[in-house]
Amino acid sequence: MKKISLILIVALTLGFVGCDSYEDYDGDRALVVGLTAASGGQGFSLEPGEESTKTLTATVNEVADVDRTYGVSIDSAQTNVSADNYTLTSNTVTILAGESTGTFESLVVTNVSLPVTPEGEDPEVLRLVVQIDRNDDYTSGNLIFTVESDD
């Protein structure tokens, strides 16, 4: 009997927990714009002279009936890879009307001057931070890549 009572209490508790609803939220929700790596993950391990391109995807939390274009840049305050090792081939991404994502082939990293790893040591892992440019109309975040020389 004790076992049945315990099962009944757990079932009722789970039933009430599952009843939460957010339909009563009447305020405006902020637009959020984020970035993800659409291909190849978030790391680069490059031999001297080697080049790699990443396709990035911008995502918004609200679909609109007009095209929206957002600025994209490198966050130099958080990036410790020297600028001669990377290029943004596009400084904008457009999310088309009726869509919640926009994909663009934008980040090219080339091992021009990455630190050489001494024999028998682990490579120095550097950070390259891509961001949606800040604006008061939306909230945005960064996409962090790791970069290392594979020599």
pLDDT digits (tens, 9 = 90+) for 57-73: 999 999 999 999 999 99
Structural domain spans, the chain? 28-149
Write the CB contacts of 101 (distance below 8 Å, at least 6 apart in sequence): 57, 58, 59, 60, 95
Residue 140 in tokens: 């945005």
CA 118, CA 76: separation in Å to the nearest integer?
A: 27
Topology of 28-149 in CATH? Immunoglobulin-like (2.60.40)
pLDDT band at 26 (very low <50, low <70, confident <90, very high): low
pLDDT band at 11 (very low <50, low <70, confident <90, very high): low
pLDDT band at 29 (very low <50, low <70, confident <90, very high): confident
pLDDT of residue 13: 55
Give pTM, 2 decimals. Answer: 0.76
CA 9, CA 118: separation in Å to the nearest integer?
A: 63
Q: State whether the Cα torsion 77-78-84-89 is positive or negative.
A: negative
